[in-house]
Chains A and B, each alone.
Chain A
Amino acid sequence: ETGVTQTPRHLVMGMTNKKSLKCEQHLGHNAMYWYKQSAKKPLELMFVYNFKEQTENNSVPSRFSPECPNSSHLFLHLHTLQPEDSALYLCASSQGVGGSYEQYFGPGTRLTVT
């Protein structure tokens, strides 16, 4: 148990659906991240938030829309996804950004787009 929870753990959605992934951290951290983990590829950074402000968007398509209402919660809103978006979506948090701050990951949401 790392102190970062994600729901749902599994999600199957059609290409025309709209769904949201939720992440919550109980570590008192100020920074939160979304990563995508696809088969046979390295984890890819998607978004970074620090004190609720987005500090990094790694050229992610607009069909992925993040939201960070406070430092403890992070959402990833999904709409009109493609089958190639099927992957494990991981949330992480850290005390701050950059420097020596260590990132702690949640268990991920396994997303399947049909």
Chain B
Amino acid sequence: GQQLNQSPQSMFIQEGEDVSMNCTSSSIFNTWLWYKQEPGEGPVLLIALYKAGELTSNGRLTAQFGITRKDSFLNISASIPSDVGIYFCAGREGGADGLTFGKGTHLIIQP
């Protein structure tokens, strides 16, 4: 099946730094979603993108739907300790009911 390449796999940053992660696909997606998962919980939806080129913000989070429809990125500005977790990209191909997920980016914030 389709796979998403998500990078980086993990990030060790200082509090206050900006974070950037991205996902790429070999095929076109109609929807890109970004989720965050904390230990013992299910993924929580952060941002949803539906149009190529769309740039959407949610507080300190900004995500973009790539023009080619084969990639998306997520930026977090001025990171804080509660940003720690695993961030997943997910995409939906045309005609698909379910989502395809990336392997996740594990964000660790050092004091």
Contact = CB atoms under 8 A, between A and B. Distances in A.
B98 A90 contact: no
B98 A102 contact: no
A108 interface: yes
Contacts of B95: 98
A50 B96 CA distance: 13
Contact of B104 (A4, A42, A90): A42
A98 B43 CA distance: 19
B33 interface: yes
A111 interface: no
A102 B33 contact: yes
A102 B48 contact: yes
Contacts of A103: 33, 45, 99
Contacts of A43: 43, 88, 90, 99, 101
B37 to A, nearest CB: 8
A97 interface: yes
A108 B38 CA distance: 12
Interface in A38-61: 40-45, 48, 50, 55-56, 58
B97 A107 contact: no
B42 A2 contact: yes
24 contacts: A2-B42, A6-B42, A31-B97, A42-B4, A42-B101, A43-B101, A45-B99, A45-B100, A48-B97, A48-B98, A50-B97, A90-B42, A98-B96, A98-B97, A99-B30, A99-B31, A100-B48, A100-B50, A103-B45, A103-B99, A105-B42, A106-B42, A107-B40, A108-B41
Interface of A: 2, 4, 6, 31, 33, 35, 40-45, 48, 50, 55-56, 58, 90, 92, 97-100, 102-108
